[in-house]
Amino acid sequence: MSSQKSTSADTAVTGAAATDVLDAGRAPKRARGRMRVAALLDAATLVFAEKGYDAATMTEIAARSSTAIGSLYRFFPSKEALAEGLLHRYGERASAGLDAIAARAHDMTAAQMADALLDLMMALKSERTALKVLMDARVDGANRRRYLLGVIRGRMAGVLSAHAPGLSADRADLLSIMLLHLMKTIPELAEEAEAAALFQEMRLVLSAYLTAAVAGG
Amino acid sequence: MSSQKSTSADTAVTGAAATDVLDAGRAPKRARGRMRVAALLDAATLVFAEKGYDAATMTEIAARSSTAIGSLYRFFPSKEALAEGLLHRYGERASAGLDAIAARAHDMTAAQMADALLDLMMALKSERTALKVLMDARVDGANRRRYLLGVIRGRMAGVLSAHAPGLSADRADLLSIMLLHLMKTIPELAEEAEAAALFQEMRLVLSAYLTAAVAGG
Amino acid sequence: MSSQKSTSADTAVTGAAATDVLDAGRAPKRARGRMRVAALLDAATLVFAEKGYDAATMTEIAARSSTAIGSLYRFFPSKEALAEGLLHRYGERASAGLDAIAARAHDMTAAQMADALLDLMMALKSERTALKVLMDARVDGANRRRYLLGVIRGRMAGVLSAHAPGLSADRADLLSIMLLHLMKTIPELAEEAEAAALFQEMRLVLSAYLTAAVAGG
Amino acid sequence: MSSQKSTSADTAVTGAAATDVLDAGRAPKRARGRMRVAALLDAATLVFAEKGYDAATMTEIAARSSTAIGSLYRFFPSKEALAEGLLHRYGERASAGLDAIAARAHDMTAAQMADALLDLMMALKSERTALKVLMDARVDGANRRRYLLGVIRGRMAGVLSAHAPGLSADRADLLSIMLLHLMKTIPELAEEAEAAALFQEMRLVLSAYLTAAVAGG
DNA sequence: GATGAATGAGTCTTCATTCAT
DNA sequence: TATGAATGAAGACTCATTCAT
């Protein structure tokens, strides 16, 4: 009883308190839960990237993150849901990366832009491989994936608009789709023997295209 | 008796007749066999493209080509062998297409080149999607796939050399790898809602890159 | 024409002629047929012995005797029938061998008898291995196999009666069953490293048993 | 509280208690697991004996022990592993039986020895039939089977040495091989119509052989 | 009759998912 | 709430047998 009183006092202040207080004892468990989820997603990233979507087994993903299979299913009720979780996390990270570029985009040259995009892709590389696998897996739920794509494309359009304010909205959308398709090949280039030289080429492709497109748009 | 006489007379004339006669009954079987193989490869192309390598089932591929599962296995003794058959056929078709472009390459502008490559990819589109799936599949036999890649890259280098005779061999090789990576995205563009506009963009990407690369090389 | 004449002349003598004449042109085919059957049975003996009943494939048996699979099925309409053919041939050869021993049995000592039986088993060894496989295969048609067993046991009883005329029929039957069971192990002994020594032991087993049994019966 | 006290008292005494408590929840699962394994081996014994190794299906073995096919594969990850499990269990039982005979062997007559061996084979009869099938199966892993044979032959040699201490080691080894070959026929005798009489004969075979061999050795 | 391509039932095995403990 | 044993649908592949040529 007395504990409840003090609780309501706290709540008034913190705002987020309402839920926190109700969960009192559960708070640490939640923290554990979030770590579990992170560990699961990390393991899933590895296993999907190594084996592909179908060949990856829920059992191995659980084992690699030292999680009981039953617990994995508590957090992600299906393999599809796990894939979606991965997609979601990737979407957030990619969005953050693109937003960061957008913030600096106004003052960048096309060549600098190309570099920034290349850097971003390489930073996300390990997750990209898993993502590719998931996007290619022709399973149902593709629509939700399409949603993710939409979000990222929006961010990319933001980058472009910041970079070349003169672009029409439609044109920015189109360019963002095109650029994202081009950027998809970057992790693959990284696996070629001539990776370094190919990066130079990609830099050329991107800046040449950006220059031409911005000028022509 | 008289029939026997005429028979020996015929044989004497044609020379090849002897074997023809012996194969008499086998000829149609072979023709049927070749059609079966083509039907199987077509069905496999569809199913692999739709489901991905692992999710594609031999049973469905057989059913889609109205073939008994046992017959599928007579022609392709394993799923891997079927994939290889597809790869092989694609290799031949792509090589032929690139060779045809090479023959005309000397007199083409960068823009015409871009168009020709786009057209080729679209002509191969249905097979391209399946090919992507097969090349990405994390299965053994990747070496033979690598071989296919080598062949196609060689043809593409031939196209570039014909187009811009001034290119060094190394440079032509590098450009061909880059171009093929870029071209891989074409069938994916075709699936976007804005396909037509994206094709224009790709034309721009390719010709801008070709122009810059040839000039810079 | 002239050949036909001489044929009918021959026929008059042989008694089997009636059918021979009707088959005129088929006669050589028949001979071919008999050779095919022999070749098939030989191949089957090998393959069954090597692989066991289930793992042996009709296709391999056909191939090993250079026979088309369709032809194999003309002679033996099922795998079971082929097994039966083998059993039958074995029965005839084993019967012949036992009859030959029976003819000399009266004047043989127990030790000589043991030797004769050992020799017979070794002479039939290659077929024995296949036979073992067929008798052990727990497939239907076991009844017909039981018939074969009956025949051979009868012959063995004949051998025993000739050897020891004082034996009652029942006792001879029992002893023959026992002896045949013991003899079954001989080909297995031949596969042990100590085959030679084990043969001596088996000689001991057989003659000790024969002596004791004949005396005690 | 009092229960807790008594618990800790118990623990103090048994020593093993600590782990017992930790395993509390797992203990019944393990017990169930062991019963499953036993049921599976029993079913496998039946099915292998009835159908032979190849013709026996994992599905039927699972069904006969009211086990889901997936569970069968949890305990025995392959058909071969299941066979090995059976071999192992047989090896232990046969060894135990032979050791028990060895313990009494010194004071036994040849006839008593024969009886003891007959009794042992009959006790193991149902497993013997399956074992025969497994030992004959032309599959890989034959080496491990050879190991089993070695073990059992060693035990049998122990029996003989205890029975007739005068035997040389080599002679004991040879006799044990011979005796085991003879004993293999016992379960087959049991399937004949005249089983009872044949057992008398086998008794005769064994004791006559033992007497002769021991005297002669 | 001979041939061998075609057929499809049936085998072993895997793995996403559930649920009793 | 966590655990991991249990489940069974589904997939790749084989082979006895048939039948059009």
Are both B105 and B211 inside the same structural domain? yes
Are both C72 and C19 inside the same structural domain? yes
Between A161 and C11, residue with greater pLDDT: A161
* pLDDT (0 to 100) of residue A47: 96
Is D51 contained in some domain? yes
Residues of C in contact with D188 (CB under 8 A): 181
**Nucleotide whose C1' lies closest to the alpha carbon of residue C71:** E2
CATH code (residue A119): 1.10.357.10
Residue-wise pLDDT for B73-128, tens only, equals 999 999 999 999 999 999 999 999 999 999 999 999 999 999 999 999 999 998 99
Looking at the structure of chain A, the number of domains it has is 2
Is D111 contained in some domain? yes
Rounded to a whole number, what is the distance in angstroms from the first to the last CA of chain D? 73
Residue-wise pLDDT for C61-117, tens only, equals 999 999 999 999 999 999 999 999 999 999 999 999 999 999 999 999 999 999 999
Q: Protein D23 CA to nucleic acid E12 C1', in Å?
A: 35
Whether residues D174 and C52 touch (CB distance < 8 A) is answered with: no
D11 pLDDT above the threshold of 50: no
* pLDDT (0 to 100) of residue D12: 38
Residues of B in contact with A197 (CB under 8 A): 174
Are both C198 and C104 inside the same structural domain? yes
A213: confidence class by pLDDT, cuts 50, 70, 90:
confident
Tally: H helices and E strands in chain D: 12, 0
CATH code (residue C68): 1.10.10.60
Residue-wise pLDDT for D33-56, tens only, equals 788 899 999 999 999 999 999 999
Are both B67 and B84 inside the same structural domain? no
D28 pLDDT above the threshold of 70: no
B22 pLDDT above the threshold of 50: no
Q: CA dist A157 to A26, A131, A175, Å?
A: 41, 21, 8
Residue-wise pLDDT for C163-203, tens only, equals 999 999 999 999 999 999 999 999 999 989 999 999 999 99
Domain span at residue A12 reads 1-77
Residues of A in contact with B175 (CB under 8 A): 201
Helices (DSSP H) in chain B: which residue ranges? 2-14, 17-23, 26-51, 58-64, 69-75, 79-105, 110-123, 125-136, 142-163, 169-184, 186-189, 195-216
* Chosen domain end from B16, B51, B77: B77
* Six token digits for residue A91: 């979407």
B25 pLDDT above the threshold of 60: no
Residues 27-66 of B with CB under 8 A from A: 50-55
D7 pLDDT above the threshold of 80: no
Are both C69 and C112 inside the same structural domain? no
Residue-wise pLDDT for C148-161, tens only, equals 899 999 999 999 99
Mutation target vs B (from A201, A204, A206, A210; most B CBs, 10 A cutoff) = A201
Are both D42 and D148 inside the same structural domain? no
Is residue B137 within 8 Å of A138, Cβ to Cβ? no
Please name the amino acid found at residue B75. F
**Chain C neighbours, 3+ Cβ pairs < 8 A:** D
CATH code (residue D131): 1.10.357
Are both D31 and D126 inside the same structural domain? no
Are both C64 and C114 inside the same structural domain? no
Are both B83 and B73 inside the same structural domain? no
Neighbours of C51 (CB within 10 A): 16
Whether residues D185 and C184 touch (CB distance < 8 A) is answered with: yes
Q: If you ran DSSP here, which 8-state letter would residue A26 be given?
A: G
* pLDDT (0 to 100) of residue C32: 78
Is D8 contained in some domain? no
Are both C64 and C104 inside the same structural domain? no
Q: Protein D200 CA to nucleic acid E16 C1', in Å?
A: 59
Mutation target vs D (from C167, C188, C200, C201; most D CBs, 10 A cutoff) = C201
Poorest-pLDDT segment among A97-111, A112-126, B11-25, B136-150? B11-25
Search chain C and give the residue with CA nearest D184.
Answer: C185
B179 pLDDT above the threshold of 70: yes
Residue-wise pLDDT for C20-73, tens only, equals 444 555 556 677 778 889 999 999 999 999 999 999 999 999 999 999 999 999
For D159-181, what is the mean pLDDT?
Answer: 95
**Nucleotide whose C1' lies closest to the alpha carbon of residue D61:** E12
* pLDDT (0 to 100) of residue B67: 96
* Chosen domain end from A77, A93, A124: A77
* pLDDT (0 to 100) of residue A138: 66
* Chosen domain end from D42, D77, D112: D77
Are both C83 and C165 inside the same structural domain? yes
A34: confidence class by pLDDT, cuts 50, 70, 90:
confident
Are both B21 and B68 inside the same structural domain? yes
* pLDDT (0 to 100) of residue D33: 77
For D96-106, what is the mean pLDDT?
Answer: 96
Is residue D82 within 8 Å of D76, Cβ to Cβ? yes
A6 pLDDT above the threshold of 80: no
Closest CA to B198 of A168, A150, A175: A175
Between A11 and C205, residue with greater pLDDT: C205
Is D89 contained in some domain? yes
Quick one: CA dihedral B196, B200, B201, B205, positive or negative? positive
For A131-141, what is the mean pLDDT?
Answer: 80
